[in-house]
Chains A and B, each alone.
Chain A
Amino acid sequence: MSTKTNDKVKCVSCGRCLSFCPVFLATQQEEFSPKAKNQLIETLSNDNISLDEGLVKRLAEMCVSCGRCSTVCPQGLSVADRLGTLREKHPGWEQYLWDLWISKGDLFWPALGTIGKALGECQGKGRLSSIRAMAPFPKISTWIKVLKYDNSGQSKKVIFFPGCTAKRVRPEWVRKATILLKNLGYAPIEQKMECCGGTLLSAGLSKSALKSMRANIEAWRGADRPLLVSACTSCIYNLAKYTEYRDLFRDSGECDQWDSSVCSLASLWKKTTFDISELPASLRWHSPCHGSAFTEDHDWLRAITNGALVSTQKPVCCGLGGVIQLSNHRLSEAISEKCWESFACEKGTQVVTGCSGCTIQL
């Protein structure tokens, strides 16, 4: 269903969004629900009613931009999109976000670096210092081993799109992906890529988002438009959405070419065979909020584990998205806890996801 930011479309207060909004489910506070935010946005556009802007802003911040509400809204309303527009229009928003960044800059959040950089440019204060390096993961033993690569890549040129998390805090993922691509018969080329734009758009920083998107297209164009491979579902989702911004491309042919170039690393395994003899006791799949339509990671892993990979009955957000990491870190953690509850982990359970942001948050 397409989402709407059209002011004429109003929330009908049916409450269907309540069962899907991670912020509401973690707090049980109706004032933080999508329907409450929709009503606030609609009331703000009514000149006869005055609300305290500061408080409206605080309530409006309580959104992880997961987009789950829009998938069930009979009106097709997307709170994340409406809030993005609201932030964009708000004259003090960048300063406000900047203040948050300054006060909470010690948080472990890879996208913080992305936003920080954008804000730095907005404020003309230069780049901020890079975020504190994140603690390494606890040692997880490798249980998938390649038996035989399908190396039918025909030495085709590929750009590996790392995404903010891998680029900033998990460079070993980039190294590993590059090795895998080579073993699959592709020729990875080094190209400097920027943020996919997703985080910046949801933070209401569309100018910075568009700048990143243009830079990415330029880098791809400069390398003769090769395959653009990513291991992060959310990045793939956002990269695929570039085609909605036709003006970024020279012509419709180039736009279509972009569309067919963006692909997941999992889609390149093809006939590669694996040894999974050291499979963990149980496996759970965390479905990222963005890009639920891009299921190649999940489908590949489920197939090679002979169905051992189990999804939760209803996908639950990890709590990473939006600006909530900046505005309300405690709530973000509460949402993560709900997410972990949904996995019903036993001893030896391993949780797998296709989004690098979700991986860090979980």
Chain B
Amino acid sequence: MINILVVVEDNRGSMHRMSKEAIAGAQKIGGSITALVIGDNADTISNELSSIAIEKTLVVKHELVSSYNPDGYTEIVTQVIESTSPDMLVIGHTYQTRDFMPRVSARIDIPFIPDIIEVEQDIYTKQVLNSKLNSSVSSLSDMKILSFQSACFSAEDILTGRSSSQNFDVDLDPSIVRSISEEPFQESAAEVDLESAELIVSVGRGIEKEDNIPIAFTLAEVLGAEVSASRPVIDSGWLPSFRQIGSSGSAVSPKLYFSLGISGAIQHVVGMKGSKNIIAVNKDPDAPIFEIADYAVVGDLLEIVPKLIEALKTEKDL
């Protein structure tokens, strides 16, 4: 039986949903599972872990890591690996993981295979080339370090049970921490609640220019939908950031997700793939969004949407 270490992330006082998926993944892979929780909220989170079928939880509390910083986490995770010699380390593919896990990889010279969407024995699938192709990746080292993309495993599959926790003492020199983090904050209050919207019209790069954005709002108005966007539209400043869907924005699962000119990179797809009905319009017949769409409309949204608006208006008048 292999030993699996799961590094659990503190998401403002509770276990990050991606950590739950990582635990479900570790259970599915099969082995003796140890969870590692770090920081001021470690007790609350280890309490959450106590009713999950794992071997044990290691708790690290130290003034240098009362909140996250990459130097402290790198040192702690390295010390835990050295002390417990796991065969495999698994973690959710979060922004925090991307921030410190490569540091651990470099420090112990063990490859970090990130952003995995499927696990089959020792072969890990990740997306490449703007999500248009998949790639099978293998680790050439005995110990594996893996991060799982959202929905690689489901938190609903977690096996419950009983487990205990124990403190893990770390030896930390204050000089290792070279960054000072300020309090996290939110930028602008959201004017719409995308997460509870029933119908969503979402725009991507294919809208081509800011002047075309009103087309999406007109369609949304006819349908009684909210308007959201993919990252490139937000980055161009055409719509405010609270309208963003994806890993750095909202995650939604409306009755209708009407996607206009969105290619469907994984960072976007993780935020909307739970939608009940997905209609996607895109000029590119190979756009990755079509893989998850229920209806793949191949064509120019700038031609289709104005005609559709007219047709829907007529339909409603009947």
Q: Do A and B come from one complex?
A: no
Instruction: Give A contacts to B, CB under 8 Å.
Output: none
Instruction: Give B contacts to A, CB under 8 Å.
Output: none
